[in-house]
Structures are given as C-alpha cells and as structure tokens.
Amino acid sequence: MLLVLTVFMFPPAVTDVIADNPDWKVFAGSAFFTGFIGMMLVMMSRGRWSNEVSLKEGFLLTVLSWVVLATFAAMPFVFLGGGLSLIDAWFEAVSGLTTTGSTVLSGLDDLPPGILLWRSIIQWIGGIGIVVMALIMLPFLKVGGMQLFQTENSDRSDKFLPRAREVMGLIAFTYVALTTACAIAYGVAGMNGFDALNHAMTTVATSGFSTHDASFGYFKEPAIHIVAIVFMFASSLPLVLYVKAVKTGSLSAFNDQQVRGFAKMVAVILIGLTLWLAARPEISLGEAVLKVGFNAMSIISTTGFASEDYTAWGSGAVGTFFVLMFLGGCTGSTTGGIKAFRLQVMLLSSFNYLKQLMSPNRVVVATYNGKQITADIATSVLAYLSVMFASVMMFTVALSFFGLGFITSLSGALSALANIGPALGPTIGPAFNYGGLPDGAKLILIVGMLLGRLEFFTVLVILNRDFWR
C-alpha cells in the first residue's frame, strides 16, 4: 500500500517541476521516505505472508491500512512552504483518503498545482480503496449487514486473496474508465484541463475537494454543473454493476433493488425540493432545477461540492439538507452515509414486523435482491444504525465542549461520521472551511471520519478487550 502511495507522489512532483515551483522537492522527498518504509515492510514480511486471512487479521488489516496511509499522505502538507501543523496536515490527509472532503486550507486558487493535484489524488485513491473494502472486506467481516452482499466462497480464507485480486483489477479498470469519461465531459463543458482532471477524480470518488475556494461556484457554465450532477449520481451506484454491464453487454445489471430504490429516493427529493425553491418569485424553474439538482445530489452522494451557500435558502432547506446528510448512495460505491440498502432493509424488516403483529400465525419472509433477510442481517443493520445515531450524539457533545454552537457541533459530527465534507452553520457550512476550529475539535473529527468510513464496528471490534485474547 505504501509503495502504491509512493508512485502517486510523483505526478504532483512533476506538475510542480513543470510549473517551476520548488515544492517538487517535498513530493520527491516524501516519495523516497514512503517508498523506503514500504520496501522495508515488504522485506520484513517476505516468506511470512499467507493467502489465509483470519477474521482478526481482517479487522486489523482494514483499520491499520487507513491510519498508516493517512499518516504518510499527510507528509507533503507538513513540509510544503508555509506548511500546515501536524494536526491540520493529518486532518487534510484523513479527510482526503476517507473521501470526506472537509478542508482546513484556504486560498486554494493561489496554491501551487502540485498540492492541489495531491489533494485530488489521495481522494481518488481513497475512493477505490473504499469500494474494494465494501466489496471484499466488509462482507468477509460481516459488518453492518454487508453479509447480504457476500458472494460464493467469500467467507473462505483459502479463496479470499485470489478473489480479491481479481475483483480489484476489474474495479480499478471501471474506476479509471469512469474518471476518464468524467474528465472529458468536464473539458467539453468548459473546464480547463487541470480543473477537469482534478474535479473528475474528486467527483468519481464522491469526495468534494476542489481547486477553488468557491468550489463549483467558481464555474458559471450550467453545462459543467449538469456534468457534475450526472457523474455524482453515476458514482453513487455500485461499481460492480458497471463491470457486469460491460461483461453482459446489457444495462439489465442496473435492474437492482438497491439501485431502483436509490433512484426513486433521489427523484422524490429533487422534485420536492425543486418545487419548493421554484415557488419563490425571484427564482425561475430552470434555476431551481440546477441549484437543487447540484447541491442536493452533492449531499446525497456525500460528495460535498457546493455551487452556493444553500443554507441561505431558508430554514426549510437547512432541515432538508441535514436529513440528506444521513442518506448516502449505494453499497459498492465510493459514497458515505447510511447507504440505500440499509434503509431498504430497515423498511422491509419494519413492514414484516407490522404484518406479523396483524397476523401472528403468518410466516413472512422478507427478501432483498432475491436473498432472504435473515435475523442476523436485520440485527446487524439495526446495530449499525443504532451505533451511528449514538455516535452522532456523542460527537456532538464532544465538539460542544470546544465552544462550538449546537448546529455547528451536530452537523459537524454528522458530516464527519457520514464522510460528507461541508456541514451547516456559520462556521463550517458550505461557504466556510474547518481551518478555524480548535485543534481538539479537529482531532475529534479525524476520529469521526475514520470511524464512519470504516463502518464503525470495524474499529469498535479491535477496541474490545476480548478481541486481543
């Protein structure tokens, strides 16, 4: 993993060389150090690596991967001219790799191109890492109902790594193809090449870092916003379905219960919010469609771009966007949040319970994509939702001790745990960033971003004393 990170440090170095910026030395030095440590770890583990991965090793490997990668990814932020503090650098790196998109940086329009590219790259790397984790590790670990997506032999350690390599190759190809298509579309819509590349990476990763302080408010062409809406939605769908569609030559792969449910949910939200905003005399229907389509899709997909300060639309918009922060896209995508399948499983289980209350002797079997929703799966989903809501409350209280207001604390906690980026309120809303927060609050948010990205239980399990026995 560190060797892969090393390779990706060279494009920013080359970019700074071309721009005649001395910061290329920082990336070169960071690459050398990261590569050295990576090679040392490879040499130390030579002959000890096995294709068999136990459950305990799976949990540890997943958690350590994100923490270690974020630590090394923070190096360029520390050593650049006028570099960030250690906490700010780690915050930016964790936010990038978890595809949260919260930033402590300002003056983005004047920053060297190398560091802007690095921010986009770590989000792009994090995005594909998330998909692989969701498709391979989480079903194997049976976290948050993910066993519903368990494939044949995915729980057998002797088949685990060979299958993982095969899946990663297919997913990587699809991910690169989607990113390339997005970059081309942005270029055709009016972005320059550098902006198109950066925003394509952060759009497909549903992560939200931009090369401009104003985010998408910098771009005035409606076509650019439309491209973003399309690819934010496309990137919210399971990447494995794109692989299936290419293999079968048919779009029938997208006739998936999760995709159908997600599409219906998005349609209802966008139509309802658009009609509400269009009721204002100063906003035309076309403007409302574009404003709502972009900003609502950005939050639903947990991308976190903003074309304007949507909290200025009124209290109704603030309440709606707060609820949208919980949702997320589909499992198997780069999005954060609860995910569509968990909402669907929760609703199906609730309806089944109501049916059983009305007809106690009736045997009701709930299914999802043709698979039975067992008591184990329903309990796992309920446990995930319970822990998430409890975490939001605890993190809200923790942030409030640093002098943050209730709305700022609540939305900041949810934004970190759902990996969204912008929160609500006058401090860390869509028109602001996280740079002014106390260091203690940033550390809490770092923990929240990692906890949310690793689906809570992956971290909580290794904190349990029984895990180490």
Of 240, 262, 286, which one is at a domain's C-terminal end? 240
Angle CA(23)–CA(65)–CA(57) in degrees, nearest 5? 165
Q: Does 260 map to a domain? A: no
Rounded to two decimals, what is the model's pTM?
0.91
Question: Burial code of 54-77, b = ≥16 C-beta within 10 A, e = fewer?
Answer: eeeebbeebbebbeebbebbbbbb
- Among 181, 212, 240, the domain boundary falls at 240
Question: 290 in a domain, yes or no?
Answer: no
Half-sphere exposure of 333 (CA within 13 A, CB side): 33
How far is CA 186 from each of CA 113, 183, 196, rounded to the nearest angstrom? Answer: 18, 5, 5
Q: Considering only CA atoms, which of 240, 257, 273 is closest in space to residue 347?
A: 257
Q: What is the pLDDT along the chain (469 residues), one digit of tens a residue?
A: 788 899 999 999 999 999 999 889 999 999 999 999 988 888 887 765 555 666 677 778 788 888 999 999 999 999 887 678 999 999 999 999 999 999 999 899 999 999 999 999 999 999 988 887 766 666 655 655 555 555 433 344 444 444 566 777 888 889 999 999 999 999 999 999 999 999 999 999 999 899 999 999 999 999 999 999 999 999 999 988 888 888 888 888 788 889 999 999 999 999 999 999 999 988 899 999 999 999 999 999 999 999 999 988 988 889 999 999 999 999 888 999 999 989 998 898 888 888 888 887 777 777 888 788 888 888 888 989 999 999 999 999 999 999 999 999 999 999 999 999 999 988 898 988 999 999 999 999 999 999 998 888 888 888 877 777 7
Q: Is residue 342 part of a domain?
A: no
Q: What pLDDT is recorded for position 155?
A: 40
Number of folded domains in the chain? 2
Residue 428 lies in a domain: yes
For the chain, what is the HEC assignment?
Answer: CHHHHHHHCHHHHHHHHHCCCCCHHHHHHHHHHHHHHHHHHHHHHCCCCCCCCCHHHHHHHHHHHHHHHHHHHCHHHHHCCCCCCHHHHHHHHHHHHCCCCCCCCCCHHHCCHHHHHHHHHHHHHHHHHHHHHHHHHHHHHCCCCHHHHCCCCCCCHHHHHHHHHHHHHHHHHHHHHHHHHHHHHHHHHCCCHHHHHHHHHHHHCCCCCCCCCCHHHHCCCHHHHHHHHHHHHHCCCCHHHHHHHHHHCCHHHHCCHHHHHHHHHHHHHHHHHHHHHHCCCCCCHHHHHHHHHHHHHHHHCCCCCCCCCHHHHCHHHHHHHHHHHHHCCCCCCCCCCCCHHHHHHHHHHHHHHHHHHHCCCCCCCCEECCEECCHHHHHHHHHHHHHHHHHHHHHHHHHHCCCCCHHHHHHHHHHHHCCCCCCCCCCCCCCCCCCCCCHHHHHHHHHHHHHHHCCCHHHHHHCCHHHHC
Domain termination residue (choose one: 220, 240, 260): 240
The verdict on residue 67 lying in a domain is yes
Q: Is the CB of residue 186 less than 8 Å from the CB of residue 227?
A: yes
Residues 167/176, Cβ–Cβ less than 8 Å: no
Q: Which of 303, 269, 273, 304 is nearest to 288 (CA)?
A: 273
Among 143, 144, 164, 145, which Cα is nearest to 153's?
164
pLDDT at 137: 64
27 shares its domain with 169: yes
Q: In terms of residue numbers, what domain contains 436?
A: 373-468
- Residue 456 inside a domain? The answer is yes
Residue 169 shares a structural domain with residue 25 = yes
Distances (CA, A) of 405 to 209, 349, 449: 25, 37, 20
Does residue 235 sit within a domain? yes
In a domain, 267, yes or no: no
- Specify whether 22 is located in the same domain as 167: yes
